Amino acid sequence: MVRCFVGFLLPEDVKRYVSEIQKDVTQLPVVCKFVEVENLHVCLSFLGEINEYKIDKISESLDGICKNYPKFEVAVGGIRTIPNENYIRVLALDILEKTGTLKKIRKEIVQKIGGDSKPPHLTLCRVKNISDKENVVKKLGEIGSEGVNFTVAVMQLIKSELKRTGPVYSVVHESELKD
163 forms beta bridges with 166
pLDDT tens for each residue of 40-65: 999 999 999 999 999 999 999 999 99
Model confidence pTM above 0.75: yes
Active site positions, annotated = 41, 121
User: What domains can you pick out in the chain, each with its CATH number?
Assistant: 2-176 (3.90.1140.10)
pLDDT tens for each residue of 1-26: 999 999 999 999 999 999 999 999 99
What's the longest Cα–Cα distance across the chain? 50
Strand stretches in the chain, DSSP E? 2-9, 30-34, 41-50, 72-83, 88-96, 121-130, 148-152, 154-163, 166-176
pLDDT tens for each residue of 121-172: 999 999 999 988 888 888 888 886 677 899 999 999 999 998 888 888 999 9
pLDDT attached to residue 145: 67
Burial class of 79 by CB neighbour count within 10 A (0 to 12, 13 to 18, 19+):
buried
